[in-house]
């Protein structure tokens, strides 16, 4: 994945905007979590100032990824649509202070710099949108039954049969 670097503080000060599309196959960390690497993610980034006067980025990521259902072990499509607000800080101490000052769980405070990789930020946002345990809402007919049918008999069940 080729980097798209911005000076994050200058980007916010000038209220710049950037958008694009990135193939999922170019996102190594995201690709590892998926059933396949088909498709792309659309994203947009807008710089500005938070109501508290702090520099902020608004990041939107949209697309569809294919995950492996942990219940039936078949692939399924998961739409991703995020709308993230990131307030910028120069270092960890400032980030902690801003986090406490804002006291808003819907806003993330990040340590940014003059060479912020936008595509890494997009990939991070997509990774955070993935469920911890991916599952269909309702597994396709027969998929769960196939998993149960292939399940080996418990060694304790075998011992129980020997006892009788």
Share of the chain above pLDDT 90, in %: 68
Residues in Cβ contact with 130 at an 8 Å cutoff, skipping those fewer than 6 apart? 33, 65, 67, 78
Query: Model's pTM, two decimal places?
Result: 0.80
pLDDT in tens, 126-149: 999 999 999 988 888 755 544 445
Q: Which of 85, 22, 95 is nearest to 59 (CA)?
A: 85
Mean pLDDT, rounded, of the chain: 88
Domain hosting residue 79, numbered range:
5-163
For residues 89 and 110, the answer to whether their CB atoms sit within 8 Å is yes
C-alpha to C-alpha distance for 80 and 127, rounded to whole angstroms: 10
| Residue-by-residue pLDDT tens, the chain, 164 positions | 567 899 999 999 999 999 999 999 999 999 999 999 999 999 999 999 999 999 999 999 999 999 999 988 899 999 999 999 999 999 999 999 999 888 888 889 999 988 999 999 999 999 999 999 999 888 887 555 444 455 566 777 766 777 66
Scan for tokens 């196959």, then name that residue.
25
Q: How many domains does the chain have?
A: 1
């Amino acid at each position: 994945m080729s980097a798209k670097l911005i000076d994050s503080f200058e980007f916010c000060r000038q209220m710049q905007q950037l958008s694009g599309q990135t193939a999922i196959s170019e996102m190594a960390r995201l690709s590892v979590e998926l059933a396949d690497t088909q498709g792309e993610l659309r994203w947009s980034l807008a710089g500005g100032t938070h109501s508290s006067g702090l520099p902020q980025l608004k990041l939107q990521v949209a697309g569809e990824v294919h995950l492996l259902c942990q219940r039936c072990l078949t692939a399924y499509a998961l739409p991703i649509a995020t709308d993230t607000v990131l307030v910028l800080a120069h270092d960890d101490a400032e980030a902690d202070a801003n986090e406490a000052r804002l006291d808003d769980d819907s806003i993330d405070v990040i340590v940014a710099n003059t060479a912020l990789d936008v595509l890494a930020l997009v990939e991070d946002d997509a990774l955070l949108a993935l469920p911890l345990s991916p599952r269909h809402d309702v597994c396709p007919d027969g998929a769960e039954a196939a998993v149960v049918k292939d399940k080996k008999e418990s060694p304790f069940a075998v011992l129980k049969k020997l006892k009788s």
